[in-house]
Amino acid sequence: MSKIKKSFFCQNCGYESVKWLGQCPACGTWNSFVEEVIEKTNGKQNWSDYTSSTKNRTSKAVSLSEVTSSEEKRIITPDTELNRVLGGGIVAGSITLVAGEPGIGKSTLFLQNGLLLSNYKVLYISGEESEQQIKMRADRLFNGNASLDKNHFFLLTETSTQVIFQEIKKLKPDIVIVDSVQTLQSPLIDSSQGSISQIKECAGEFQRYAKETNTPVFLIGHITKEGGIAGPKILEHMVDVVLQFEGDRHYAYRILRTLKNRFGSTSELGIYEMTDKGMRGVTNPSEILITQKEEQLSGIAIAATIEGARPLLIEVQSLVTQSVYGTPQRTVTGFDLRRLQLLLAVLEKRGGFHFGVKDVFLNIAGGIKVEDPSIDLAVLCALLSSYEDVPLPQNICFAGEVGLSGEIRAVHKVDQRIAEAEKLGFEKIIVSKYNQSIRQNQAKFNIEVVAMGRVEEIYQYLF
């Protein structure tokens, strides 16, 4: 009998050690090592042993001048939001990791996209659901649509990678979807499903399969209670694209963010609405992020932001009240708390407003999180509106970053922000006077562009 081999793995980064260590030498995390059995088979196999196409493949070094460059072929899906976050479509031979909270809609999104890609042979591998459960969800999504061709869509409920690659060899699919990578188990390693070594080995097998056969693979993954992707950090380095599905289950809207993309921008995001017919892409998110109200209310300002290449108009809500506790409260949803404290300090120092005795509550409507610094001006105006209890005009929006000395700094892509505000019917937009393109292109806009340079000017203009 072969000797059972055991090793210790860091749960945070996947570092392997022959003995237990208190602190990981790779990532510095304390008490993160767990023992796993990694007894490997004598005749090591991988997916290539189940196919004959790559056995005679040889590799050699070539100079960069010998490499022919060409446009990567992309599969355009019916989902415009998914195409956007992937950089224009699915790249052949790419491996994509999609992670998110349980029940957020990851399986639903890729099930409906796989069914709609009728020109491609799609293999959906599930280690979590039975074939009957997936069939029931597909019928619910398309409401028993008899005209939908399902002959191109194949199901495989299996967790062993050995069986999976044997079926892949027979079927030869165009697209492979794995739900989920944490449920897979490789016979090469004798450890439990979801362990560090199993996730690393199974992801490595699918990576080799994707690159050598030029077949795109989607790996659906779990996340930890801290919000990170479950498994070793090396999992994110192995794949080409990492997508994060975000959203509150109490809201109908979901956000698909790009955390890593070797084929496009990492600042893109897609917005979906969860309906009884599955995920519906939102083509004009500005309309859903601005609350429809009949009367003017204080503490509300509209910000013109940019997410990737997409301009968005979002609503900033604030509430400033007299503090009844010894220490004033600062409560924020969807915005950086330290950034709010910075803006309050600017108002206190440059404007003379006594926010030190006030409770401040700030919320970004729609349940999304904004990191664009151009939202500073709208946050500042919403705070002033609530402080003075004077509502801002409904036909005005803001785009500008606020500096520590109280100046309004220029932001990028200001022309796209102005065009989006004009499209949604706003009559005025306040921007920084330091944006050089404003003076050159002001004549082509039908919206009044107000350029200002100081916080004091804003207060005098609005109040």
Residue list for the binding site for ATP:
100-107
Question: Rounded to the nearest 10 degrees, how much is the dihedral formed by the CA atoms of 43, 46, 47, 51?
Answer: -40
**Do 376 and 400 contact (CB within 8 A), yes or no?**
yes
Beta strand ranges found along 266-377 (DSSP E)? 269-275, 278-281, 300-307, 310-322, 330-333, 358-364
**Do 410 and 434 contact (CB within 8 A), yes or no?**
yes
**Do 56 and 64 contact (CB within 8 A), yes or no?**
no
User: 137: number of CA atoms within 13 Å, CB side?
Assistant: 19
Largest CA distance in the chain: 85
Please name the residues in contact with 182: beta carbons below 8 A apart, sequence gap of 6 or more.
193, 194, 199, 221, 222, 230, 231
* Residue numbers belonging to the annotated binding site: 100-107
Among residues 399, 385, 390, 248, the alpha carbon closest in space to that of 318 is found at 385
Strand 396-399 relative to strand 358-364, pairing: unpaired
Question: Rounded to the nearest 10 degrees, how much is the dihedral formed by the CA atoms of 26, 31, 37, 43?
Answer: 0
d(CA 318, CA 433): 26
